């Protein structure tokens, strides 16, 4: 498979107090919304930023749109780069390519239909300066789209954000509580945990969180909105064929990451998860919600100790 790299510009403005941050825009047939995403990158208050666009063989004119925009706005960034491939490789591989092309100490991935708030990078960097042990940070993501708006804010009482990495790993084995659009990462830590798992083509975030916490990296919660996550009818996640692959990917995670760490206390939850994914993945399924296994697993979550 051949990579195509387009339009590279660079300069050197980094120092210990002003590290380079790589914003990586992940695209696949993103032509309808990607300009809004790129404009949100341009509006960042933090100045020492490079822009990477990592495209996964879009069939529309996404790459052309990005190239033209970067040609007009490249002076706003320390460095810019567009990379694409001649065959679709899946979400994790596309994200990994973006990170591998990044030069920054810190990386922020954003989908080509989502939007960064102008404070995103500068607030994350200030949080990191105040919490030097933080290598993975999760903040608030706001949902928006046609006729809808909401804020995905974790409960401050969620024990996930007030425990060690070891306990976070155990807690994440039960369920994924981390909002992917808002995650801000240290590049070296990302590389050390192995990056995104490319064997699961449709799900990039959950395996990474399990890898990171099992390797001893704790996720820190930052109580401030930094991104906007777009909900729209053309989203990949609304594609029926893609959703079937998502279910297959979720089962792969169950076998590869969760079951090897199974405990008797978690057995009911895992078994119910398997049934739910395998047979009960429709939007409404009373059989699942009335299942004794489902009820027992939810009771267990209520009393789960961090």
Residues of the chain with CATH 3.90.550.10: 3-237
Cα 103 from Cα 92, distance rounded (Å) = 19
- Element counts in the chain: helices (H) and strands (E): 11, 10
Smallest CA-to-CA distance from 102 within 209, 200, 185, 37 is with: 185
Each residue of 240-279: pLDDT tens digit? 555 778 888 888 888 899 878 876 656 666 666 555 555 5
Kindly state the percentage of the chain with pLDDT values over 90: 60
Mean pLDDT of 49-54: 98
Mean pLDDT of 39-58: 98
SS3 227: strand
Q: What residues does 140 pair with on adjacent strands?
A: 225
pLDDT of 283 > 50? The answer is no
Q: Does domain 3-237 have CATH number 3.90.550.10?
A: yes
State the sign of the Cα–Cα–Cα–Cα dihedral 32, 38, 39, 44: positive
**Mean pLDDT for the chain?**
83
pLDDT (0 to 100) of residue 154: 59
Each residue of 213-231: pLDDT tens digit? 999 999 999 999 999 999 8
Each residue of 140-186: pLDDT tens digit? 999 988 655 555 665 555 667 888 999 899 888 888 889 899 999 99
**Predicted confidence band of residue 118 (pLDDT cuts 50, 70, 90):** very high
**Predicted confidence band of residue 288 (pLDDT cuts 50, 70, 90):** very low
pLDDT (0 to 100) of residue 284: 42
pLDDT (0 to 100) of residue 258: 84
pLDDT (0 to 100) of residue 50: 98
Q: What is the DSSP annotation of 12-52? A: ---BTTB--EEEEEEESS-TTTHHHHHHHHHT-S---EEEE
Smallest CA-to-CA distance from 100 within 24, 10, 7 is with: 24
Cα 240 from Cα 290, distance rounded (Å) = 25
- Tell the residue number behind the tokens 């960064």, with chain if given: 116
């Amino acid at each position: 498979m051949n990579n195509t790299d387009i339009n590279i510009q660079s300069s050197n403005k980094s120092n210990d107090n002003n590290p380079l941050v790589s914003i990586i825009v992940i695209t696949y047939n993103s032509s309808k919304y990607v300009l809004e995403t790129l404009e949100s990158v341009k509006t960042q208050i933090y100045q020492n930023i490079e822009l990477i666009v990592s495209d996964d063989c879009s069939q529309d004119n996404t790459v052309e749109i990005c190239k033209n925009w970067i040609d007009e706005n490249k002076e706003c960034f320390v460095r810019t780069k567009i990379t694409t491939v001649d065959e679709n490789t899946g979400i994790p591989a596309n994200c990994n390519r973006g990170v591998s092309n990044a030069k920054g100490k810190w990386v922020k991935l954003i989908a080509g239909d989502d939007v960064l708030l102008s404070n995103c990078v500068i607030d994350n960097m200030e949080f990191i300066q105040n919490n030097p042990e933080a290598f993975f940070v999760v903040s608030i993501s706001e949902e928006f789209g046609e006729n809808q708006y909401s804020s995905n804010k974790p409960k401050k009482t969620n024990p996930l954000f007030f425990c060690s990495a070891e306990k976070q790993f155990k807690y994440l084995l039960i369920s994924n509580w981390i909002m992917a659009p808002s995650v801000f990462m240290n590049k070296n830590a990302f590389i050390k945990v192995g990056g995104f798992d490319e064997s699961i083509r449709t799900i990039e975030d959950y395996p990474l969180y399990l890898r990171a916490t099992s390797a001893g990296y704790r996720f820190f919660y930052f109580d401030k909105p930094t991104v906007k996550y777009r909900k729209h009818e053309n989203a990949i996640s609304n594609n029926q064929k893609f959703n079937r692959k998502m279910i297959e990917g979720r089962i792969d995670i169950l076998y590869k990451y969760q079951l090897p760490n199974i405990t008797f206390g978690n057995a009911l939850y895992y078994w119910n998860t398997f049934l739910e994914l395998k047979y009960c993945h429709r939007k409404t399924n009373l059989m699942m919600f009335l299942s004794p296994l489902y009820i027992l697993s939810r009771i267990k979550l209520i009393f789960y100790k961090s």
